[in-house]
Structure 1
Amino acid sequence: MLLEGFSSLMSLLYLAMLAIAVVAFVIAMTAREDAYRAADKQTKTFWLIILGVTIAVNLLVPMLFLQLAGLVASIVFMVDVRPALRQVSGGRRGGSSSDGPYGPYNGGR
């Protein structure tokens, strides 16, 4: 009974690692190539290869060490590269140039 619970927990962990890698891959695929250069990060091709290999390892190779290495690569992309790409690409959707962090600036009116 205890082993069944541990097995289902590990299955959820593997599924979560795969989901993070897929989300990172989709984000890397949709970003523009010149945004990577402007953000001074590795190239788009580099990140697509790394994240694609991560997805393949998660699906095909049941080695926890390789899956954890892929998780680290996915996390690095999500917390370092993605914010830099959003900043370079003007990641905020909507709003105007007079918007501050707490909403629009109305000139003291």
Structure 2
Amino acid sequence: MTVQDVVLNARLYLVLALGVIAGVSALAALVHAVSTRADAFTAVDAQSKTFWVALLAGSNVLIWLFVIGGLGMMVLFLVGVVASMVYIVDVRVRVDEILNRNWFRKLG
């Protein structure tokens, strides 16, 4: 095994690990959106629950296809990651404040 093989394998495993982390995060965001009341989304001036559930479901498909299919779908992977991260850092935070929930936050 040459140094080039080691570097290539390390790169592939790193990309795979990042893909799995992104996929699990997107799946958690989807579960959060599905389990949230529909009126909470309109209360925080966000898109509808149906919009976010559909967008996050599509993001999950894109991310997991990247994990399974490899580097050929990098642009679609990035679209899926951006969509799920917008939900996680913006919409989820505002919805949780309205509903007084603590998903993904430290207790105490």
Please say whether Structure 1 and Structure 2 have the same fold, judged by a TM-score greater than 0.5.
yes
Q: Which has the larger radius of gyration?
A: 1
Counterparts of residues 1-109 of structure 1 (less than 5 Å): 1-61=6-66, 62=69, 63-91=73-101
Q: CA deviation at 1:90?
A: 2.3
* Structure in which a larger fraction of residues adopt helix: 2
Q: Identity, % of aligned pairs?
A: 34
Residue identity matched to 2:76: L
- TM-score w.r.t. the length of structure 2 is 0.79
Q: CA deviation at 1:13?
A: 0.9
- TM-score w.r.t. the length of structure 1 is 0.79
Q: Distance in 1 between matches of 2:82 and 2:74?
A: 12
Deviation beyond 3 Å, 4+ runs, structure 1: none
Q: CA deviation at 1:64?
A: 0.9
Alignment deviations for residues 3-33 of structure 1 (CA, whole Å, 9 cap, x no partner): 1111111110111111111011011111100
Residue identity matched to 1:84: R
Alignment check: 8 A CA contact 2:63 2:81 kept? no
Q: Kindly tell me the number of residue pairs found equivalent between the two proteins.
A: 93
Note the residue ranges of structure 2 that are not aligned, 5 or more in a row.
Answer: 1-5, 103-107
Q: Distance in 2 between matches of 1:8 and 1:32?
A: 38
Q: CA deviation at 1:39?
A: 1.0
